[in-house]
Amino acid sequence: MSDLAIDGGKPQRTKPFPPRQPFGQEEVDLATQAIRSQSLFGMGGKMVGELERRFAELYGAKRAVTSTSGTAAIHVAVAGVDPEPGDEFITCPITDAGSIVGMLYQNAIPIFADIDDTYNMDPSDVEAKITPRTKAILLVHLFGNPCDMDRMLDIARRHKLDIIEDCAQTHMTEYKGRFVGTFGRVGCFSLQQSKHMTCGDGGVTVTSDEALGLRMSMFRDKGWARDPAAGARGYHFLGLNYRMTELHAAVALAQMDKVADVVGKRNELGDLLSESIRDVPGVVPAPVTSGGKHTYWLYPLRVTGPPAKRFAEALEAEGVPCWVGYTGDPIYLCMQALAGKVTFGRSGHPLDGCHGGRKIEYARGMCPRAEKLLGELVILTIHEGLARGDVLDMAAAVRKVGEALSARA
């Protein structure tokens, strides 16, 4: 067995992995066209309108609403279903703050369901967390792996709940032959730099509920209907300015022509990595939900033998970039708006029990499986610019480290 590089041996990989380069001449051409139009304002703009039309068509939705970020896309959805203050949204403990802030700004209470072996929300725990104040299930398709939508839809139907799908990490990701984002009442997508399709930052929310689509479109535009027939300007409810610009839409339109190939390549490379390390001692490849197709926004490697930090340090020394734990702690511990109730002044609102909502203490032990998993994850990056040989080098390094550390245990 080769000596580990961390102990002075030769690294498995001695040259850098190629960086992701998502943009090309197509983006330059459309961005230039947008700038030469002399108007980058998106409302009524050619680029934003075309992006919304094409995105809705891709997902078979009646309406797509663009916005400034994936966080905004989720806030648009939460505001669209219009919770009463104190209503509850059951959601995932392993996620970005962007999944949560829209709930807090709409005076709703995040309730966390623990994960199962797919690393997504456990449907049984979702059902166990339902109360009379539950408004919706905001599920997260984590890392590119779809949730068990059959069970989630059954729970939502029986309890008369909305489902909002956070698809920030799962563009064109299939569950039983159908794209996630189309199962619930609303699907939310991110166009942030690291996502399968990107314009640097941006968001899209899709729905086939026409009334909901109109409300979401108005919410991202300060509650303005922009109806010329209505006469004087009117702001119909409290909204925000989350409008996308023509420049962002131009880049995203070019990305629309690439996203299917990006997703297909990531699926191929991620599956190759999983197959290549399936028998490595002390590690568990990325899980794939039954009936689902993983698109590997990130690659979550679970380390069950040595400490994850030790494994990651050894893997880095072998020339494979990685990091430990994804978010480190679940969102209810690492987001001080939840753990410390640092929200609006010193009020702790809406987590202060006002409006009849529950006063929740977000503390360690709330989702023990999620907490345990995050301590065991080593995150690898797979992207469409890698070759099969690059991924096989990753696999060889994982095998080298796994076998060496397991032999020393």
Q: Which residues pair with 380 in a beta bridge?
A: 299
DSSP 8-state secondary structure symbol assigned to residue 112: E
Instruction: State how far the Cα of 248 lies from the Cα of 31, in Å rounded to an integer.
Output: 8
Report the range of poorest mean pLDDT among 157-161, 259-263, 339-343, 404-408: 404-408
Report the share of the chain in percent with pLDDT over 70.
Answer: 99
Q: For position 231, what pLDDT does the model report?
A: 72
Reported confidence tier of residue 44, pLDDT bands at 50, 70, 90: confident
Instruction: State how far the Cα of 409 lies from the Cα of 407, in Å rounded to an integer.
Output: 6
Average pLDDT over residues 287-297: 98
Q: For position 355, what pLDDT does the model report?
A: 83
Instruction: State how far the Cα of 283 lies from the Cα of 90, in Å rounded to an integer.
Output: 30
User: Which one-letter amino acid corresponds to residue 295?
Assistant: T
Domains in the chain, ordered, with CATH? 5-21+259-326+371-408 (3.90.1150.10), 25-258 (3.40.640.10)
Report the share of the chain in percent with pLDDT over 90.
Answer: 94
Return the sign of the alpha-carbon dihedral for residues 88, 93, 95, 96. Answer: positive
The pTM of this model reads 0.97
Whether 104 shows a pLDDT value over 70: the answer reads yes
Q: For position 358, what pLDDT does the model report?
A: 86
Mean pLDDT of the chain: 96
216 closest CA partner among 75, 94, 5: 75
Classify each residue of 322-340 as buried b or exposed e, where b means 16 or more C-beta atoms within 10 Å of its C-beta.
Answer: bbbbbbebbbbbebebbbe
Q: For position 252, what pLDDT does the model report?
A: 98
Q: For position 112, what pLDDT does the model report?
A: 98
Q: What is the pLDDT of residues 124-156, one digit of tens each?
A: 999 999 999 999 999 999 999 999 999 999 999
Q: What is the pLDDT of residues 56-93, one digit of tens each?
A: 999 999 999 999 999 999 999 999 999 999 999 999 99
